[in-house]
Amino acid sequence: MNWNKIFALSLRHIYLIKGSFPRILDLIYWPTIQIFLWGFISKFFTLSSSYYNNTVGIILSAAILYDFLFRSSISYNMMFLEEIWSRNFTNLFIAPIKLSEIIASLTFTAIFRTLIGLVPAALLAIPLFDVSIFKIGMPLVFLLLTLYIFGVTLCLLVTSGLIRFGPSFENIAWASLFFLAPLGCIYYPIEILPEWLQIISKLLPLVHIFEEMRNILIYDIISYAQIFKAIFISVLYFILGVLVFYWSYNGAKNRGTLINMGE
Amino acid sequence: MKLEVLNLSKKFNNILAVNNISFSIEKNKTLGLLGPNGCGKTTTIGMMLGLITPSDGEVLIDNQKFEEKNRIKLLSKMNFASPYIELPKKLTVFQNLNVYAKLYGVEDVNDRINEMAENLNLKDFLNKKTGELSSGQKNRVSLAKSLINKPKLLFLDEPTASLDPDVGDFVREYLENYKLKNELTMLLASHNMTEVERLCDNIVMMKKGEIVDKGTCVEVVKKHGRNNLEEAFLKIARSKDELE
């Protein structure tokens, strides 16, 4: 991999963010709204019943982690869609850059975009609701890493669809994460789901990540086995995502959709 | 660079977009790829750029087959400009050229951008957003991007489409002068026959995915008993018996 080319491609997106205050505001706005909304809802439950003790911390931590997945995924998809919207797609695919370098560049730039939005929101939760995601400690790094790998995997599948079906696949790009959210057991334990759905949801890394987060915050127990299981599942999906992306790319070359792709 | 297209075909589902075409461009020569809309020019260019996988046949660049294993090496010496593809509109001209210079591994990026800006009169709007430029300005920026890596093989798809005669002439003159000073093999797809006569050493005429004629402009005009290439083009494009 050529890191100069990866940087060059990232630079295109950094220029875009840097040059537009509304874009920066947009990146920060949604995670912050999310924190406010879930923070107040959880606070209401806590004040209404002792049964919901500790709810604010758990719900807000889940909201921040889920938003991390959501934002990284959306960032990746957005950057890919930007190339289609700006009709720059052909220029990109005739440049001497490998597919792996395009994937790497989008992956690294997506984390940059995600952190711009999420760090202020996570910091805001500390004084406002007395909730610090950083209380999870070292496992937080692994949980974020797993979420990120899974987020990028979802994007690879969505971008594969964009390459395969063209810009009309855009709506799926936005809907993809909402589709998995109920199965991810983000805000509730897996036991809430019917048994047959539990079997399906255990195939997703999200369940293991959010169950582990709750274990740490409620019982103060860290299970690295659970964390590594989540990482393992995410990596498996990631490999699958890369294979699907390459398959779609070759399919698009066969169908001739890479030339003149745009809105 | 020498470009050879050998028995190239492309079938999309059951439609034969390009049917067994062969031609070559010798080093430092310019070939005009002509034909009516939908005749397979863009598909042919797509196959030569590696954007479309041929159903049959091959593209050789300096006797090397254009395939995945040497794609990066060959693409770094090639480039393409078309009014149908654009550079990101929200980035400034400088930013766009900077990104592409880096992607193509250009050394002394700033010097190269300044050189292109000087030669193509981009200096006044180098820091302006690309989306805010006029068609003529965008066209020159697109040309600058396509020459940023000093390509040895350049594909131009209708480089002067939608330009006023003054800017169109500027682009043609620039390309003529650039070719005199640099080693460049060029494929030009155009509907402007005056432009083709001015810039091309040879032409290939396509119709319904097939090559129906080729040679120098003078040869083709003479063969069809017409006064100029425009008339020869019209004769070929309108004739029903060429392929049917």
Q: Are B156 and B237 within one domain?
A: yes
Instruction: Show Cβ contacts of residue A61 under 8 Å, excluding neighbours closer than 6 positions.
Output: A131, A133, A136, A213, A217
Chain B contacts in chain A segment 74-93 (CB below 8 A): 82-83, 86-91, 93
A11 and chain B: CB distance < 8 Å anywhere? yes
A258 and chain B: CB distance < 8 Å anywhere? yes
Calculated CA dihedral for residues B141, A258, A18, A140, nearest 10 degrees: -160
Task: Give the C-alpha separation, B80 to B85, whole Å.
Answer: 10
φ, ψ of residue A138 in degrees (nearest 5): -55, -40
Q: Are B100 and B140 within one domain?
A: yes
State the count of interchain CB pairs (< 8 A) between A and B.
Answer: 110
Tens digits of residue pLDDT in B94-116: 999 999 999 999 999 999 999 99
Q: Are B127 and B171 within one domain?
A: no
pLDDT band of A172, cuts 50, 70, 90: confident
Q: Are B155 and B227 within one domain?
A: yes
Cβ neighbours of A250 in B, within 8 Å: 53
For residues A206 and A150, the answer to whether their CB atoms sit within 8 Å is yes
Q: Are B225 and B173 within one domain?
A: yes
Question: In the predicted model, what is the mean pLDDT of residues A134-159?
Answer: 89
Closest residue in chain A to residue B14, using alpha carbons only = A255
Task: Give the C-alpha separation, B190 to B168, whole Å.
Answer: 12
A6 and chain B: CB distance < 8 Å anywhere? no
Question: In the predicted model, what is the mean pLDDT of residues B210-222?
Answer: 91
pLDDT at B153 over 90: yes
Total structural domains in chain B?
2
For residues A215 and A221, the answer to whether their CB atoms sit within 8 Å is yes
Q: Are B172 and B196 within one domain?
A: yes
- Taking an 8 Å cut-off on Cβ atoms, the answer to whether B50 and A94 are in contact is yes
- Taking an 8 Å cut-off on Cβ atoms, the answer to whether A7 and B102 are in contact is yes
Among residues B135, B150, B165, the one where a domain terminates is: B150
Question: In the predicted model, what is the mean pLDDT of residues A100-121?
Answer: 88
Among residues B150, B180, B200, the one where a domain terminates is: B150
Among residues B126, B150, B174, the one where a domain terminates is: B150
- Taking an 8 Å cut-off on Cβ atoms, the answer to whether B42 and A96 are in contact is no
Sheet strand arrangement including B56-61: B15-25, B3-12, B56-61, B64-65
**B233 Cα to chain A: minimum distance (Å):** 26
For residues B223 and B212, the answer to whether their CB atoms sit within 8 Å is no
Q: Are B44 and B136 within one domain?
A: no
Q: Are B181 and B60 within one domain?
A: yes
pLDDT of residue A258: 82
For residues B24 and B2, the answer to whether their CB atoms sit within 8 Å is yes
Instruction: Give the domain CATH number at B206.
Output: 3.40.50.300
Instruction: Show Cβ contacts of residue A79 under 8 Å, excluding neighbours closer than 6 positions.
Output: A13, A106, A109, A110, A113
**A90 Cα to chain B: minimum distance (Å):** 7
Question: In the predicted model, what is the mean pLDDT of residues B37-54?
Answer: 92
- Taking an 8 Å cut-off on Cβ atoms, the answer to whether A96 and B90 are in contact is no
Task: Match 């995915």 to its residue by tokens.
Answer: B209
Q: Are B105 and B214 within one domain?
A: no
Range of the domain at B104: 85-150
pLDDT at B241 over 60: no
Question: Taking the CA of residue A84 as centre, how many other CA atoms within 13 Å lie in the half-sphere pointing to its CB?
Answer: 21
From chain B, which residues contact A within 8 Å (Cβ)?
10, 12, 17, 42-43, 45-46, 49-53, 71-73, 75-76, 78-80, 82, 84-92, 95, 98-100, 102-105, 145
pLDDT at B244 over 60: no
Q: Are B103 and B216 within one domain?
A: no
pLDDT band of A59, cuts 50, 70, 90: confident
First vs last Cα of chain A: how many Å apart?
Answer: 30
Q: Are B211 and B92 within one domain?
A: no
pLDDT of residue A262: 57
Calculated CA dihedral for residues B71, B73, B77, B80, nearest 10 degrees: 20
pLDDT band of B243, cuts 50, 70, 90: very low
* Residue B181 neighbours by CB distance under 10 Å: 7
- Taking an 8 Å cut-off on Cβ atoms, the answer to whether A256 and B104 are in contact is no
Task: Give the C-alpha separation, B12 to B15, whole Å.
Answer: 5
Measuring CA to CA, which residue among A210, A203, A171 is closest to residue A68? A210
Question: In the predicted model, what is the mean pLDDT of residues A152-180?
Answer: 81
Q: Are B157 and B233 within one domain?
A: yes
Pairing of strands B185-189, B30-34: parallel
For residues B192 and B36, the answer to whether their CB atoms sit within 8 Å is no
pTM attached to this predicted model:
0.85
Cβ neighbours of A253 in B, within 8 Å: 50-53
| Bigger pLDDT: A236 vs A220 | A236
